[in-house]
Structure 1
Amino acid sequence: MTEQTEVRRRAFRGCIVYCRHDPGEGNDPEALEVHEDGVLVVADGRVEAEGPAAQLLPTLGPETEISDQRGRLIIPGMVDCHIHFAQTDIIASYGEQLLTWLERYTFPVEGRFGDAELASETAEFFLDELLRNGTTSALVLGTVHAVSAEAVLDAAHRRGMRLSAGKVLMDRNAPDYLRDTAETGYRDSRALIERWHGVDRLAYAITPRFAPTSSDEQLRRVGELARAYPDTYVHTHVAENPAEVAWVSELFPWSRSYLDVYDRFGMLRERSVYAHCIHLDDGDRRRMAETGAVMGFCPTSNLFLGSGLFDYAAARDAGVGVGLATDVGGGTSFSMLRTAAEAYKVAQLQGTSLSAARLLYLVTLAGAEALSVADRIGGFRPGREADLVVLDPAATPLLARRSAAAGDITERLFALLTLGDDRCIAETWVAGRCLHRRGADSGAGG
Structure 2
Amino acid sequence: MSTPRLLLGQTFEARGNPFRQPWREAVRIDSAGAVLIEDGLIRAVGNRDRLRRDAPQAEVHDYGPQLICPGFVDAHVHYPQTAIIASWGKQLIDWLNTYTFPEEMRLEDPDYAARIANRYLDLALSHGTTTMCSYTTVHAHSVDAFFDAAAARGMRTVAGKTCMDRNAPEGLRDTAQSAYDDSKALIAHWQGQGRATYAITPRFSPTSTPEQLSALGSLWAEHPECLMQTHLSEQPAEIAWVRALFPQARDYLDTYEAHGLLGPRAVFGHAIHLEPREIDRIAETGAALVHCPTSNSFIGSGLMDVAGLAARCIPVGLATDTGGGSSFSMLRTMAAAYEIAQLRGSALHPAQLMWLATSGAARSLHLHDRIGTLAPGHEADLTILDLASTPAIAQRAAEAKDIWEALFPTIMMGEDRAISDVWIGGQKHRPASSG
Common fold: TM-score over 0.5: yes
Is the CA contact 1:27–1:357 (under 8 Å) kept in the aligned structure 2? no
**311-320 vs 174-183, greater mean Cα deviation:** 311-320
Unaligned runs of 5+ in 1: 1-5
State whether structure 2 residue 312 is matched by structure 1 residue 305.
no
Whole-angstrom CA distance in 1 between matches of 2:348 and 2:140: 39
Q: Please, which of 299, 316, 329 is the counterpart of residue 322 of structure 1?
A: 316
Give the secondary-structure state (helix, strand or coil) at the position aligned to 1:114. coil
Whole-angstrom CA distance in 1 between matches of 2:96 and 2:39: 44
Q: Please, which of 15, 27, 36 is the counterpart of residue 10 of structure 2?
A: 15
Deviation at 1:26, TM superposition (A): 6.0
Q: Please, which of 420, 426, 434 is the counterpart of residue 426 of structure 1?
A: 420
Amino acid at match of 2:307: A
Is the CA contact 2:19–2:307 (under 8 Å) kept in the aligned structure 1? no
State whether structure 2 residue 227 is matched by structure 1 residue 233.
yes
Q: Please, which of 32, 42, 45 is the counterpart of residue 40 of structure 2?
A: 45
Query: 1:59 — aligned with what?
Result: 54
User: Deviation digits for residues 50-82 of structure 1, max 9, x if unmatched?
Assistant: 111122212222x31100100211100010000
Query: 1:134 — aligned with what?
Result: 128
Is the CA contact 1:387–1:430 (under 8 Å) kept in the aligned structure 2? yes
Give the secondary-structure state (helix, strand or coil) at the position aligned to 1:364. helix
Whole-angstrom CA distance in 1 between matches of 2:76 and 2:17: 20
User: Deviation digits for residues 126-167 of structure 1, max 9, x if unmatched?
Assistant: 111111110111100000100101100111112111101011
Find runs of 4+ consecutive structure 1 residues off by over 6 angstroms. none
State whether structure 2 residue 379 is matched by structure 1 residue 385.
yes
Is the CA contact 1:27–1:355 (under 8 Å) kept in the aligned structure 2? no
State whether structure 2 residue 400 is matched by structure 1 residue 400.
no
Deviation at 1:419, TM superposition (A): 1.5
Is the CA contact 2:19–2:311 (under 8 Å) kept in the aligned structure 1? no
Query: 2:209 — aligned with what?
Result: 215
State whether structure 2 residue 264 is matched by structure 1 residue 270.
yes
Query: 2:347 — aligned with what?
Result: 353
Whole-angstrom CA distance in 2 between matches of 1:26 and 1:184: 46
Whole-angstrom CA distance in 1 between matches of 2:430 and 2:283: 37
Whole-angstrom CA distance in 1 between matches of 2:298 and 2:23: 33
State whether structure 2 residue 330 is matched by structure 1 residue 340.
no
Give the secondary-structure state (helix, strand or coil) at the position aligned to 1:398. helix
Amino acid at match of 1:35: D
1:197-208 pair list within 5 angstroms = 197-208=191-202
1:78-117 pair list within 5 angstroms = 78-117=72-111
Amino acid at match of 1:338: R
Whole-angstrom CA distance in 1 between matches of 2:292 and 2:410: 20
Unaligned runs of 5+ in 2: none
Query: 2:242 — aligned with what?
Result: 248
Whole-angstrom CA distance in 2 between matches of 1:442 and 1:76: 27
Whole-angstrom CA distance in 1 between matches of 2:115 and 2:203: 23
Give the secondary-structure state (helix, strand or coil) at the position aligned to 1:42. strand
Give the secondary-structure state (helix, strand or coil) at the position aligned to 1:33. strand
Amino acid at match of 1:399: I
TM-score by length of 1: 0.95
TM-score by length of 2: 0.98
Deviation at 1:351, TM superposition (A): 1.0
Query: 1:166 — aligned with what?
Result: 160
Give the secondary-structure state (helix, strand or coil) at the position aligned to 1:338. helix
Amino acid at match of 1:81: A
User: Deviation digits for residues 315-353 of structure 1, max 9, x if unmatched?
Assistant: 112221110010011000010000000000101111111
Amino acid at match of 1:188: D
Deviation at 1:436, TM superposition (A): 4.3
Whole-angstrom CA distance in 1 between matches of 2:22 and 2:96: 39
Give the secondary-structure state (helix, strand or coil) at the position aligned to 2:192. coil
Whole-angstrom CA distance in 1 between matches of 2:305 and 2:283: 15
Query: 1:36 — aligned with what?
Result: 31
Q: Percent identity?
A: 47
Deviation at 1:310, TM superposition (A): 0.6
Amino acid at match of 2:129: T
Give the secondary-structure state (helix, strand or coil) at the position aligned to 2:23. coil
